[in-house]
Amino acid sequence: MKLFSKADIKGGVHHRLHFIKSVYKYRGLLLMLLPGILFFIIFHYIPMYGVLLAFKDFRIMDGIMASPWVGLKHFQKAFSDPYFLQVFKNSLLISIYKHVWGFPAPILFALLLNEVINQKFKKLVQTVSYLPYFLSWVVVAGMFINILSLNGPINAIISILGFKPRLFLTDPTHFRSILVITDIWKGFGWGSIIYLAAISDIEEEMYESAYLDGANRFQRAFHITIPSLAPVIVIVLILSCSSILNAGFDQVFNLYNSMVMDVSDIIDTYVYRKGLLDMDYSYATAVGVFKSIVALILIIGTNKAANKLGGKGYGLW
Amino acid sequence: MKMVILKKSASEKVFDILNYVFMFLIFLITVYPFWNQVVTSLSEGYSAYLTGMLLWPAKISKKAYEMVLGYSLLWTGFKNSIIRTVLGTLISLVFTSLTAYPLSKNKLPLNGFFTGMIFFTMLFNGGLVPNYLLVKRLGMLNTVWSLVLPGMIGAFNVFIMRNFFKSIPESLEESAMLDGAGYFRIFLAIILPLSKPVIATVALWVAVGHWNSWFDGLIYITDKNKILLQIVLQKIIIENNSTNIQEIMQRLQSNERSNYTGRQLQAAILLVATVPMIVIYPFIQKYFIKGIRMGAIKG
């Protein structure tokens, strides 16, 4: 996936005269671009400037500019706050669990689905597997709250088997597993699309000649299908690495409760409560900035690593 | 694999059987949560608490649906979510395509600068508080604009469209230019009609995003008349807000009321809210697949 090429970045001003001429020549196109650029300035770059809040004691009457500078005070406060460290740890843990279990799930599903010969059944499973992705976390959380409740079907099965019913969603020992499982439930089908597409792009002749050489189905899967998926797997991995601190705001927010706060409160829910409910704007911004910077470092780092390990063209840029 | 497999070894046959069983389980696991809502919502009163109610309601009743459909806040939510989705999608499409088209021309001056500037927004953002304060300062709180404008153009969608526009042969535009058409004319008369697949894809992505989005509705909208469907759901299902459930229940006769617990109501409201998505889903599904292939692999 090349979002843009090297030429995109290097292109630009060589000769001033040439430049002015081409601006005039392409004025129509530049005018079309104007609203978009204004949008990105207003709704992305101005909030980036708002990051300054993190280094100030924000007073709403004074605005961002006139509020007094306080340096790294809010960052120091965050790092000396055991609760922030807990929230940071939760974000990392939940996200790592989700990656470890959730990353291979769609790949495995795509590989196995590809081996299904009955086309109608294959299509049915495939279609159904995408559906949960199109529902909001409010809806999905609502369903699972129902299913996991004391008199829901899971507990019905547990009591039929002779065990004691459990309150899954208020039990800190189960909560993170529930986050991981519901996340996989919602996303595995959708996540598999990209792999299924890549599989369908593999040339038929490769399989045919492997077959003639005596390779069985497992050998064909291991020597043709999986290696052909490697570039796609790397790209998806890079993209997901950048979101390692995104433990899933929508999901956690809709599933958590006061009983499981210690294991489920993540950076994003913490920022929301501190910033918008407690109106501790500067502190919440500082926590958010810390998260964004870590994410930025991660994506640049993984992209570099991908280009180095896999050769040019593996990274996003 | 369309190839005919002539003979299968024993281990391959065993694998086939296991694989079919596994796929069937996946199918069940995906479908069951929906079915569970159907069963719960159709159960009468306390029969929703019987453990036998796994696959079929003990006693069928449409009461929960009658109550939910008479709940005015639900319809307010539906209306506002539809307005948001339609308006948001239209605006997004217009401005995303207007941004993507110039960037598809390598000769555009400062193309690299603008591209980089848009790409950077995929890597870094100001975060929740600065965004909230901006929307507030712009006076958009409690208006549909707070839901539609901040996410109007997504960098990723711009790049997907741009890559598609790039794949259109330039000779088409050149001949139009010789006929005296300007870039805007070419964009409207040639590029857009040829770009239906990518436009449909982005439209669907954006529309689903709007329909399902709720957090912005939670923080920017406090006016009850402007509430979004997802927030109504959240109040009733997640927060288990008893005043809301009470409000729905008031329509019941008092002796019937004690028999209902809100559980069926929650399931019914959840399904009613999901119906539009499930109904249009089969139609939009193929576009999504096409879109993701186009954007991610072919791009």
- Using a CB–CB cutoff of 8 Å, tell me whether B261 touches chain A: no
Q: In A, which residues are within 8 Å of B11 by CB distance?
A: 218
Contact between residue A55 and residue A68 where contact means Cβ atoms under 8 Å apart: no
Chain A, residues 93-132, CB within 8 A of chain B, namely 109, 112-118, 121, 124-125, 127-132
Task: Select from A141, A201, A285 the Cβ nearest to the Cβ of B238.
Answer: A141
Q: How far apart are CA A175 and CA A264, in angstroms?
A: 7
What mean pLDDT do residues B200-209 have?
A: 90
Model pLDDT, residue A13:
46
Candidates A1, A15, A43, partner chain B, best to mutate (most B CBs within 10 A): A43
Contact between residue B161 and residue B202 where contact means Cβ atoms under 8 Å apart: yes
pLDDT exceeds 80 at position A257: yes
Determine whether the interchain pair B106/A11 forms a contact, defined as Cβ–Cβ distance below 8 Å.
Answer: yes
In residues, how long is chain A? 317
What mean pLDDT do residues B219-246 have?
A: 84
Model pLDDT, residue A238:
76
Q: In A, which residues are within 8 Å of B213 by CB distance?
A: 136
Task: Express each pLDDT in A120-164 by its tens digit.
Answer: 999 999 989 989 999 999 999 999 998 998 878 888 888 889 999
Model pLDDT, residue A84:
95
Position B254 confidence tier, pLDDT thresholds 50, 70, 90: low
Task: Select from A37, A116, A185 the Cβ nearest to the Cβ of B19.
Answer: A116
Determine whether the interchain pair A50/B123 forms a contact, defined as Cβ–Cβ distance below 8 Å.
Answer: no
Task: Express each pLDDT in B261-290 by its tens digit.
Answer: 678 888 899 999 888 888 888 777 777 777
Determine whether the interchain pair A211/B3 forms a contact, defined as Cβ–Cβ distance below 8 Å.
Answer: yes
What mean pLDDT do residues A101-107 have?
A: 95
Q: How far apart are CA A307 and CA B220, in angstroms?
A: 41
Contact between residue A51 and residue B126 where contact means Cβ atoms under 8 Å apart: yes
Position A244 confidence tier, pLDDT thresholds 50, 70, 90: confident
Position A280 confidence tier, pLDDT thresholds 50, 70, 90: very high
Determine whether the interchain pair A317/B119 forms a contact, defined as Cβ–Cβ distance below 8 Å.
Answer: yes
Chain A, residues 219-238, CB within 8 A of chain B, namely 232, 235
- Using a CB–CB cutoff of 8 Å, tell me whether B288 touches chain A: yes
- Using a CB–CB cutoff of 8 Å, tell me whether A163 touches chain B: no
pLDDT exceeds 60 at position A201: yes
Model pLDDT, residue B180:
84
Model pLDDT, residue A12:
47
Q: Which residue of B has its CA nearest to A155?
A: B51
Determine whether the interchain pair A3/B212 forms a contact, defined as Cβ–Cβ distance below 8 Å.
Answer: no
- Using a CB–CB cutoff of 8 Å, tell me whether B267 touches chain A: yes
- Using a CB–CB cutoff of 8 Å, tell me whether B241 touches chain A: no
What is the SS3 string spanning chain A? CCCCCHHHHHCCCCCHHHHHHHHHHCHHHHHHHHHHHHHHHHHHHHHHHHHHHHHECCCCCCHHHHCCECCCHHHHHHHCCHHHHHHHHHHHHHHHHHHHHHCHHHHHHHHHHHCCCCHHHHHHHHHHHHHHHHCCHHHHHHHHHHHHCCCCHHHHHHHHCCCCCCCHHHCHHHHHHHHHHHHHHHHHHHHHHHHHHHHHCCCHHHHHHHHHCCCCHHHHHHHHHHHHHHHHHHHHHHHHHCCCCCCCHHHHHHHCCHHHHHHHCCHHHHHHHHHHHCCCHHHHHHHHHHHHHHHHHHHHHHHHHHHHHHCCCCCCC
What mean pLDDT do residues A218-242 have?
A: 85
Determine whether the interchain pair A136/B230 forms a contact, defined as Cβ–Cβ distance below 8 Å.
Answer: yes
Q: In A, which residues are within 8 Å of B282 by CB distance?
A: 127
Model pLDDT, residue A1:
44
- Using a CB–CB cutoff of 8 Å, tell me whether B4 touches chain A: no
pLDDT exceeds 50 at position A270: yes
Contact between residue A242 and residue A95 where contact means Cβ atoms under 8 Å apart: no
Report the percent of chain A where pLDDT is more than 90: 52
What is the ipTM, given to two decimal places? 0.88
Q: In B, which residues are within 8 Å of A10 by CB distance?
A: 112
The nearest CA of chain B is from the CA of A82 a distance in Å of 22
pLDDT exceeds 60 at position B52: no
- Using a CB–CB cutoff of 8 Å, tell me whether B170 touches chain A: no
- Using a CB–CB cutoff of 8 Å, tell me whether A49 touches chain B: yes
The nearest CA of chain B is from the CA of A205 a distance in Å of 9
- Amino acid B210 reads H
Chain A, residues 59-88, CB within 8 A of chain B, namely none
Q: In A, which residues are within 8 Å of B211 by CB distance?
A: 136
CA atoms within a 13 Å half-sphere pointing along the CA-CB vector of B119: 20
- Using a CB–CB cutoff of 8 Å, tell me whether B294 touches chain A: no
What mean pLDDT do residues A32-53 have?
A: 95
The residue ranking higher by pLDDT, A235 or A74, is A74
Task: Select from B3, B117, B288 the Cβ nearest to the Cβ of A208.
Answer: B3
Model pLDDT, residue B53:
65
Q: In A, which residues are within 8 Å of B297 by CB distance?
A: 1, 194, 197-198, 201, 232
Q: How far apart are CA B298 and CA B215, in angstroms?
A: 33
DSSP-derived 3-state class of residue B62: coil
